[in-house]
Structure 1
């Protein structure tokens, strides 16, 4: 039956029925959502998980605080127990500027007096007030905090405490583990470097010191130790929650390492090396002093080098050239050729030969003076350093015998002296001419430490000792000591042979025709052998030409009758050849060898008169008085009243007319350098970290930055030297 149209319209227009239907539907949805929520909540409560996360652990973590208990890195000591590398802490300063940074009772924790902050910080940082104020007023007014660049980093505890005494609002410090190298340039590539390395751990981002070069790297696991951790439950204010206990796992400190280096000799060597480097500018310079009876390295250094305390020179040269560089040794190799021939019974000292030149395998070999000395006995070939004579000796010895002795002396193999980056060396031995030239140190590549190892056999009755730079490792907690005993690696020659070679080395020093007469030291008998090695061209085709394109060297053993010291020095391509190579090397060899022999004889009078006092941390007035007592002129660099660094370093050997540079807290200032030598100017650059351009030779007559001006006020500093 058809419903009338007016009744259908009335049904649609019934609002009460529509609300009831809509309400019922909404109630159904609401109940469904509620039941779903109840089910979900019950599941979370029962399981303790949501989205695969453990809520119990997550909630607990909100109240748990974990702190790394940093292990102390082991200290490196010299042979006499003097610290060479030790753990320290440095600080970085920063300023909070955000005015919303407040504490309890709305205490202001941001910078409130920028003028006062700039005044105080300028006294302790190498920045002036204007530079500090500029940082405290950044262009972005929403900046939360600002730092002060490198000037605000690496601060000592003394400087941090001095700044804190001023009670500056908004000034804070971050703490960073650091490695302290109190001796500055001191066998830098051999000791190496440890720097901070941030590692993500389960407890925090812990900063650890990690060795990145030298012994710091090779002995990193020994020195590093193991970090501990402290876990505690805290409230939102940082207080420990009641009825909770802190969990603590103690840190295990690293072990201490004792070296064979003698600080007295090492420091003196560094001074001598720096002087030669400054005066003659060789591209490379190496020196090692060793006890041949034990193989212990008493002093070792190289140039270029760096100061691990200031970072000066670090970016220029990372390689330890004593083990990492292989080179043709030149005529010092004749020491081993002679030893092999004597030991094999193939040396005929009274047999004459025609010096000057000889042709072997189609190659003509010349003596160093080209024309030679006419017909002379083989006994003169060694003191005269005759290449032709040693070709004859090698021919008599035989190629197989000679190669066998090269291997007996442990060439072509690493010494495993614990220094990092050691090379094996190599030899070119295919043709007759190759075999001949190895007799005088060409066609064979060696390292300095391989040479030192070989020299020990000559100086130690034929017993060859492994070079040793670590003497012992000590656990600071248990006291357990691991000693590194002297290790004999071979006996390549007899005692009689070693004695005869030493006698021939004496001839080099004392015969009027010997090449080593410059190395005579009054009061002591010295056995030496000199060397001049050609340098291969970069493309491998032939050798470089020019008077300075050589590796000049000398090895000396003393006392010659029973050597207690072997000193080997190499110098590559000196740019200033104002003296002969022999005279240049003698400026290192003679004073260092004499100092070692004097110490051995019990004569320490020189040392007591020439050691630089320790003035770091003292007031400027006290430091000046201490230097005046040593007849040294103090040169102040900085506006502060406390010495933070010094040059020369404490206990360093002081030479005549040497200036003492003292860097104070406060902004660094330019001293009057008129009359200074180039060496003094370079020390100023090293101490301040500033790039100083040096023009001319002689002594300073002009400086682009006037006295007492702030060093940071000039991008470049130029000084002009003139000869008097």
Structure 2
């Protein structure tokens, strides 16, 4: 049999080729299957997780097909006791200039700054910035796409923005940011507080206002609203799909009502500013409290600040009412006498040798170091004798006295609705420490603690917690949370309180009383004066010199049925009114007219025919406001070039005599009025409403002013106004 090797070889090759093709095909199919499997796994992973290389595909899709816009919630308003606005929401603006010449419209027309000189002219007229400085910003050393104008270009009002926009400047634009409007200017500023945007991103729709001090901070959670939003689905072309819009309403923040009386607060601010200018103290504080309820009716401090401009904020951040501790001095004797009478350890007819007393290794003297000879203990209080108070404390016993200081709430916080409250302290280890606390040394208190403690004397033994908030109202539901007067103790009996008030009247009425300057004709006033040494911050002991004291007065009126408490402290005055180094005449410039105002308002329920009630003209047109007030018989002085009233003094609700001057601030540039013939009080109101640096020379009525009427007030570093008494 003949074998065809050639044919076999050919068949073998064909078989091998088919096998190779099968292997290759199988491998190819396997690779395709593997790739397909990988794609399936990858797509599954992407579908489940929605991310590729840290890119959120779901977010991109949502952004394309789901539109969401924020409905900003309003921050709650802050009102006074009668519903006058103290703080409310507004918007401020930041101006910026685009310099880059690539910024053009669709037709190639420039949208950048083309006339720098014109921009400089307009901005310098409407902002607190010079023309040369504007040009410096517009010509940066390095290329910049856009520039801002420092602090002068931020926090602009709507009126400023409108005035700039009227000039139709190329390349000038504005960013809007949430802001807070405080229409009253300097007005219990540290207690009301401040709110500011949470961040500096002007394009953040969720950028909310956050309270950083005062009521704004303490009630930030309640004041802050909850933003709403609108969601809608879109097609490929960006149009909303029918029926896809879902709207969630914004929940506005709660409104907070304070116990402050706007009329009284404004009056207190005016009186305090007057004494600040006369005495130039390092610190000056004043409070009015309702003795029966503990409600704070008015409160202020110097230095203070204008929350609209923040001018003065750098001088004092702390709220002195609650955060500053100090040795109260002789005002403490109110509590010493109260404790002694209440425990039966006070013998008013007991005689003692005044002038000095030895306690351990220390000799303690009266303020009149020679004393008054041998006198009865009943004279120790009106004379403000330290030696007499030590005798009373020793008769009472140190532990009894310490127990009463605790009963009066010293050494612990009152719980008033303000942030940053301090508890104070009592130094009570050595006999000399125990002795000096009887006249207010070695014990550190806050003003609000002293008001709470002395309220027991004013309120017939019942001690009231000081309060500055009356209620909180939810504007969305109407739910109201009330802060009712709160009794925090009964440290003394009604009879003890009555006896102490009688002793406080002797301070005013007796020939040897230290508070004769506080006597108000026709009124029953109970008073205790205080002159406290100031601890040396650079070492032990106390500061020396006539001016290195904390002077104070605590007053209660009417003495027989107290309604009001007034507490004033003044630290290190540089000048004394009428050369009175005891400072009683200086503090009387606040105390007497303030207390007279309070008592007159209480006693005279019938208004005089010649009085008118000041209406609110804020947000009215300038012409309408002037017509309304003139018709009521008031003298109107308008400040500024605007057509809308943004601020007024006096405030709405105040009682005014006919022909009394009313100041109106418009939304335009602040221009200097003609002040000739104005009273000093009118000039002080001008300074308050404008925030302008005004120096007042003399007394009486204005005879000249350094800045011409009609000139821009910001053009002068200081405005000097001279007054003279009429011949």
Category of TM-score, reference length = shorter chain:
0.7 to 0.9
- Choose from 75, 88, 105 the match for 1:86: 88
Range moving further from structure 2, 478-487 or 163-172: 163-172
Q: Confirm or deny that 1:339 pairs with 2:341.
A: no
Residue pair 2:194, 2:212 contacting (<8 A) in 1 also: yes
Post-superposition offset of 1:361:
1.0
Residue pair 1:268, 1:652 contacting (<8 A) in 2 also: no
Range moving further from structure 2, 246-255 or 623-632: 623-632
Summarize deviations over 1:555-608 as a string: whole Å, max 9, x none: 111111111111111111111113321111111111111211222224475898
Give distance in 1, aligned partners of 2:522 and 2:724. Answer: 37
Summarize deviations over 1:686-716 as a string: whole Å, max 9, x none: 7666668x699889999987776666667x5
Distance 1:106 1:62, change over 3 A: farther
The aligned residue for residue 585 of structure 2 is: 583
Q: Confirm or deny that 1:405 pairs with 2:404.
A: yes
Q: Confirm or deny that 1:551 pairs with 2:550.
A: yes
Runs of 5+ unmatched residues, structure 2:
1-28
Range moving further from structure 2, 372-381 or 532-541: 532-541
Distance 1:140 1:104, change over 3 A: same
Give distance in 1, aligned partners of 2:657 and 2:524. Answer: 26
Post-superposition offset of 1:327:
0.7
Summarize deviations over 1:471-494 as a string: whole Å, max 9, x none: 111111111111112111111111
- Choose from 61, 85, 91 the match for 1:59: 61
Range moving further from structure 2, 140-149 or 507-516: 140-149
Post-superposition offset of 1:652:
7.3
Distance 1:119 1:362, change over 3 A: closer
The aligned residue for residue 290 of structure 2 is: 291
Residue pair 2:703, 2:724 contacting (<8 A) in 1 also: no
Distance 1:635 1:280, change over 3 A: farther
Give distance in 1, aligned partners of 2:143 and 2:662. Answer: 47
Give distance in 2, aligned partners of 1:321 and 1:75. Answer: 24
The aligned residue for residue 531 of structure 1 is: 530
Post-superposition offset of 1:169:
5.8
Residue pair 2:633, 2:659 contacting (<8 A) in 1 also: no
Post-superposition offset of 1:533:
0.7
Q: Confirm or deny that 1:456 pairs with 2:455.
A: yes
Post-superposition offset of 1:633:
7.6
Post-superposition offset of 1:46:
5.0
The aligned residue for residue 445 of structure 1 is: 444
Residue pair 2:637, 2:673 contacting (<8 A) in 1 also: no
The aligned residue for residue 212 of structure 1 is: 212
Residue pair 2:633, 2:658 contacting (<8 A) in 1 also: no
Give distance in 2, aligned partners of 1:34 and 1:150. Answer: 66
Post-superposition offset of 1:62:
3.9
Range moving further from structure 2, 167-176 or 454-463: 167-176
Q: Secondary structure at the match of 1:67?
A: strand
Distance 1:668 1:35, change over 3 A: farther
Q: Confirm or deny that 1:563 pairs with 2:562.
A: yes
Range moving further from structure 2, 99-108 or 391-400: 99-108
Distance 1:371 1:119, change over 3 A: closer
Q: Confirm or deny that 1:184 pairs with 2:185.
A: yes
Give distance in 2, aligned partners of 1:612 and 1:130. Answer: 44
Residue pair 2:187, 2:266 contacting (<8 A) in 1 also: yes
Give distance in 2, aligned partners of 1:592 and 1:207. Answer: 43
Distance 1:471 1:671, change over 3 A: closer
Give distance in 1, aligned partners of 2:439 and 2:288. Answer: 23
The aligned residue for residue 173 of structure 1 is: 174
Give distance in 2, aligned partners of 1:251 and 1:653. Answer: 39
Give distance in 2, aligned partners of 1:680 and 1:575. Answer: 25
Q: Secondary structure at the match of 1:471?
A: strand
Summarize deviations over 1:374-416 as a string: whole Å, max 9, x none: 1111111111111111111111001111111111111001001
Residue pair 1:463, 1:493 contacting (<8 A) in 2 also: yes
Post-superposition offset of 1:445:
0.9
Residue pair 1:198, 1:205 contacting (<8 A) in 2 also: no
Q: Secondary structure at the match of 1:207?
A: coil
Summarize deviations over 1:99-158 as a string: whole Å, max 9, x none: 5545567676556777877777677555687876776x5458975444454444434445
Range moving further from structure 2, 704-713 or 391-400: 704-713
Residue pair 2:577, 2:586 contacting (<8 A) in 1 also: no
Give distance in 2, aligned partners of 1:228 and 1:641. Answer: 34
Distance 1:650 1:387, change over 3 A: same
Summarize deviations over 1:149-188 as a string: whole Å, max 9, x none: 4444434445545665676665543222111111111111
Residue pairs, 1:622-641, within 5 angstroms: 634=637, 636=639
Residue pairs, 1:204-353, within 5 angstroms: 206-233=206-233, 240-243=239-242, 245-353=244-352
Distance 1:705 1:349, change over 3 A: closer
Give distance in 1, aligned partners of 2:151 and 2:604. Answer: 47
Residue pair 1:598, 1:604 contacting (<8 A) in 2 also: no
Post-superposition offset of 1:230:
2.8
Give distance in 2, aligned partners of 1:42 and 1:108. Answer: 52
Range moving further from structure 2, 172-181 or 529-538: 172-181
Give distance in 2, aligned partners of 1:712 and 1:296. Answer: 39
Distance 1:666 1:127, change over 3 A: farther
The aligned residue for residue 196 of structure 1 is: 197
Residue pair 2:259, 2:469 contacting (<8 A) in 1 also: yes
Residue pair 1:127, 1:667 contacting (<8 A) in 2 also: no
Give distance in 2, aligned partners of 1:492 and 1:720. Answer: 52
Distance 1:554 1:630, change over 3 A: farther
Distance 1:620 1:222, change over 3 A: closer
Post-superposition offset of 1:470:
1.0
The aligned residue for residue 597 of structure 2 is: 595
Q: Secondary structure at the match of 2:207?
A: strand
Q: Secondary structure at the match of 1:206?
A: coil
Distance 1:673 1:289, change over 3 A: closer
Post-superposition offset of 1:197:
1.0
Residue pair 1:124, 1:665 contacting (<8 A) in 2 also: no
Give distance in 2, aligned partners of 1:270 and 1:225. Answer: 32
Residue pair 1:126, 1:667 contacting (<8 A) in 2 also: no
Range moving further from structure 2, 639-648 or 574-583: 639-648
Residue pair 1:200, 1:206 contacting (<8 A) in 2 also: no
Distance 1:302 1:253, change over 3 A: same
Residue pair 1:122, 1:666 contacting (<8 A) in 2 also: no
Give distance in 2, aligned partners of 1:278 and 1:606. Answer: 33
Range moving further from structure 2, 504-513 or 327-336: 504-513
Give distance in 1, aligned partners of 2:514 and 2:441. Answer: 19
Residue pair 1:287, 1:570 contacting (<8 A) in 2 also: yes
Q: Secondary structure at the match of 1:282?
A: coil
Residue pair 1:268, 1:653 contacting (<8 A) in 2 also: no
Give distance in 1, aligned partners of 2:263 and 2:684. Answer: 23
Residue pair 2:185, 2:689 contacting (<8 A) in 1 also: no
Range moving further from structure 2, 175-184 or 606-615: 606-615
Residue pairs, 1:8-157, within 5 angstroms: 45=43, 47-48=45-46, 49-96=51-98, 98=100, 100-102=102-104, 124-125=126-127, 138=139, 143-157=144-158
Residue pair 1:358, 1:364 contacting (<8 A) in 2 also: yes
Give distance in 2, aligned partners of 1:171 and 1:488. Answer: 59
Give distance in 1, aligned partners of 2:136 and 2:609. Answer: 50
Residue pair 1:290, 1:297 contacting (<8 A) in 2 also: yes
Summarize deviations over 1:604-640 as a string: whole Å, max 9, x none: 758985987766556666777778787758474x566
* Number of corresponding residues: 689
Residue pair 1:634, 1:661 contacting (<8 A) in 2 also: yes
Residue pair 1:267, 1:652 contacting (<8 A) in 2 also: no
Distance 1:672 1:34, change over 3 A: farther
Q: Secondary structure at the match of 2:416?
A: coil
Q: Return the TM-score normalized by structure 1.
A: 0.83
